[in-house]
């Protein structure tokens, strides 16, 4: 029992970061599943993170901070969607990167709201039960969405927008809902990250975390909601494993493992199509 306690104390922060990265990956996935590559989750996370951090700093409780962060991210996503849904997919990716840069400039020049270059220090840490509860609710929500009309419509839309339109799918409605979900989940991830670090600054939500979101989503598999969950866990835990196994060449080993996964599993670790093909081959008559 003591060994388990020591193990948990050693890796608690890794587990917590994996859970927060899961929120970011799911936020990125839901827009990607609707056929768009967007880095806007970084912006939603920044809005939710700073809004929730301000409430915590001023003495409000965690329920209000998380609720405000989700609503803040949702509101920002609707504004972004109103502009971005007019763009093609590649232009949207570039525009979202530009928006990340603009957001950082705004954060730096609004010290009353964000602390500016000095950032904000949070007086309380993130309780693990709170993080677990938020993640469980989000995961259950994605499971339900996957089996809903929205999940079916978004998968058809991603594979072939023309076929989706012929089937009567309202493309803009599906895409708008995808952005709204991404905004709310991204906002939750933002305040969770701020509380986990107990500090938030302009560098907290910048290009580094944008790469983490995309890498975790693609690594785990962007064709099923469970892929980003697995991808976030693997992407967060891989540096720890490599540091213990080959500390001298940790960074090289990380890159090699990621490249091997991308080469031999181009659709990610969770691939529904490959699973169906394996199932069919098992039941195929000799």
Domain segments of the chain as ranges: 11-283
Domain 11-283: assigned CATH number: 1.10.3470
The two three-digit tokens of residue 94, written as one number: 């570039």
Q: Is 200 helix (H, G, I), strand (E, B) or coil?
A: strand
- pLDDT band at 4; cut points 50, 70, 90: low
User: Average pLDDT over the chain, rounded to whole?
Assistant: 85
- pLDDT band at 112; cut points 50, 70, 90: confident
| DSSP labels, 137-191 | HHHHHHHHHHTSHHHHHHHHHHH-HHHHHHTT--HHHHHHHHHHHHHHHHHHHHH
As a residue count, the chain comes to 286
- Phi and psi, residue 198, nearest 5°: 55, 30
Q: What is the pLDDT of residue 6?
A: 55
Question: How far is it, in rounded angstroms, from Cα 234 to Cα 216?
Answer: 8
Query: What count of other Cβ atoms lies within 10 Å of the Cβ of residue 117?
Result: 12
Q: Is the pLDDT confidence value at 286 over 60?
A: no
Q: What is the pLDDT of residue 81?
A: 92
Taking only the tens place, the pLDDT of each residue in 161-212 is: 777 777 777 788 888 999 999 999 999 999 999 999 999 988 888 878 888 8
Arithmetic mean of pLDDT, 224-234:
90
From residue 220, alpha-carbon distances to 118, 164, 258, 262 in Å are 35, 26, 11, 10
Q: What is the pLDDT of residue 65?
A: 94
The answer to whether residues 230 and 221 touch, using CB atoms and an 8 Å cutoff, is: yes
Taking only the tens place, the pLDDT of each residue in 150-168 is: 888 888 777 777 777 777 7
The answer to whether residues 186 and 49 touch, using CB atoms and an 8 Å cutoff, is: no
The answer to whether residues 197 and 21 touch, using CB atoms and an 8 Å cutoff, is: no
From residue 128, alpha-carbon distances to 135, 168, 212 in Å are 11, 44, 22
């Amino acid at each position: 029992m003591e060994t388990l306690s020591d193990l948990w104390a050693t890796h608690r922060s890794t587990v917590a970061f994996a859970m927060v990265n899961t929120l970011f990956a799911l936020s990125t996935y839901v827009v990607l599943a609707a056929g768009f590559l967007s880095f806007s989750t970084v912006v939603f996370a920044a809005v939710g993170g700073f809004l929730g951090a301000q409430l915590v700093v001023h003495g409000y409780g965690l329920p209000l901070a998380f609720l405000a962060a989700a609503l803040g991210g949702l509101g920002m996503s609707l504004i972004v969607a109103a502009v971005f849904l007019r763009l093609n997919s590649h232009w949207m990716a570039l525009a979202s990167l530009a928006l990340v840069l603009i957001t950082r400039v705004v954060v730096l020049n609004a010290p009353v709201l964000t602390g500016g270059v000095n950032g904000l220090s949070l007086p309380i840490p993130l309780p693990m039960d709170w993080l677990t509860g938020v993640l469980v609710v989000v995961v259950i929500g994605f499971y339900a969405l996957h089996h809903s009309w929205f999940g079916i419509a978004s998968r058809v839309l991603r594979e072939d927008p023309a076929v989706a339109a012929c089937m009567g799918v309202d493309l803009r409605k599906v895409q708008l809902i995808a952005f709204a979900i991404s905004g709310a989940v991204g906002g939750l991830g933002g305040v969770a990250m701020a509380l986990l670090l107990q500090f938030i600054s302009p560098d907290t939500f910048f290009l580094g975390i944008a790469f983490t979101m995309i890498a975790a989503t693609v690594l785990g598999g962007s064709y099923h909601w469970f892929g980003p969950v697995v991808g976030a866990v693997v992407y967060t835990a891989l540096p720890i494993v490599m540091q213990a196994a080959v500390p001298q060449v940790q960074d090289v080993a990380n890159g090699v493992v990621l490249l091997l996964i991308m080469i031999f599993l181009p659709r990610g670790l969770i691939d529904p199509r490959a699973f169906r093909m394996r199932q069919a081959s098992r039941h195929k008559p000799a």
